[in-house]
Amino acid sequence: MDKKGSNRKMKKIRFKSLKKTVSPIGEGGNPWWGSNGPEDIKSVEDVYKKAIEVGVNLFHAGVQYGGGHQEEWVGNAIKDCREDMVISAQSWMANLEPDKLNLYFKQSLENMQTDYADIYNLQFANLDFPISKTMEAVEKLRSEGKITAVSVSNFPMTSLEKAIKYGKIDIMQIPYSLLWRQHEKDLFPFCKEHGIEIIASTALAQGLLGGKVRLDKVYNEGERKFIMAGDYKAESLYIVEKLRAIATEVGISLPKLSLKWLLAKPEISAALISARTPEEISEDIEAEDLVVSQEILDRMTVVSDELADMIPVYPDLYGNWKTFYKIRPQVE
């Protein structure tokens, strides 16, 4: 059964690449991707305050979120407890040249009122710039004590295979949820072979598994939650309804049951969610302690398999193979 526990705090787990223990659920920046964030900034502060209060110490931040302000929001939230926090800063494909990378990294640290990043994530590869130069710049920052662990996300395999020649990738942030499991056959084995830990991003499928999106409701074409579904909105929402039925049957909310399924995967070390309210963060962390039978988890996997059978195998979640990831080798 689904029971509320407002006074609970998340347990912490050990990442072999970090010096700190980490909450298995972290807060990401996706609620304010490409936007200036909510009109009431206090709502962001309330989410981050509640997250810290309930034991979340993993925060992912980037200049792409909140019109460039999200890093500042994170910095304000953690300034009195920095050493207890695990901060994932982020670069962008346009900033992977060493001079730009160093400039933007310095700015990110200033925005977050810190002098180091626990994790530095390279978001999207630049296929036309030598990955060797990028990795050498990142490893220099690591040697200077400014980075503890190096992470990448949304890198095509050609970039990954060349990147590990020039530096160590400790963590991979992979879009992964009941609605997106495309990388089980390529990135999961790659990470296992090279000792790379996985953080699942878009763990609730950009809101599709959040419990509020319904098949019978009309949504605007521009709503971000549907990037996850791509050209398969109806199919995705059909699967959401089938998963909701299982959640109703066992008396657990859909987001909590979805997170429980994800955290039960042995390949996943932690998951990033994108809570917009203190209530959401309080509810979502309860997934950690849920007792759910393997039979229920297996039934959810079977439903998830239906969606995988409906859609093509895409190289990445965001459709980048149609644009800047058009098939060509990574410059080394």
What are the pLDDT digits (tens) for 224-243?
Answer: 444 454 567 778 888 999 99
317 pLDDT above the threshold of 70: no
Identify the residue with better confidence: 221 or 205. 205
What is the rounded CA–CA span in Å between residue 96 and residue 101? 5
What are the pLDDT digits (tens) for 259-278?
Answer: 999 999 999 999 999 888 89
What is the rounded CA–CA span in Å between residue 69 and residue 66? 5
Secondary structure (DSSP) of 269-293? EEEEE--SSHHHHHHHGGGGG----
Report the residue count for the chain.
332
pLDDT score recorded for residue 241: 92
Mean pLDDT of 143-156: 96
Inter-CA distances, 231 with 162, 216, 238, 303, Å: 32, 18, 14, 19
Quote the tokens at residue 64.
Answer: 């792409």
What is the rounded CA–CA span in Å between residue 254 and residue 251? 9
- What are the helix and strand counts (H, E) for the chain? 10, 10
Backbone angles phi, psi at 25, to 5 degrees: -120, 130
> Can you list the domains of the chain with their CATH numbers?
19-310 (3.20.20.100)
Percent of the chain with pLDDT strictly greater than 90: 64
What are the pLDDT digits (tens) for 77-94?
Answer: 999 999 999 999 999 888
185 pLDDT above the threshold of 70: yes
What is the rounded CA–CA span in Å between residue 252 and residue 261? 12
pLDDT band of 222, cuts 50, 70, 90: very low
- Most confident by average pLDDT, 1-5, 214-218, 299-303, 305-309: 299-303
Helix axes 98-111, 131-143, angle to 10 degrees: 40
Mean pLDDT of 236-260: 95
The residue type of 4 is: K
What are the pLDDT digits (tens) for 103-143?
Answer: 999 999 999 999 999 999 999 999 999 999 999 999 999 99
Residue 149, beta-bridge partner list: 119
Residues of the chain by 3-state class (helix, strand, coil), percent to 5: 45, 15, 40
Quote the tokens at residue 313.
Answer: 């195998």
Mean pLDDT of 142-157: 95
pLDDT score recorded for residue 48: 93
Q: Is there a contact between 18 and 149 (Cβ–Cβ < 8 Å)?
A: yes
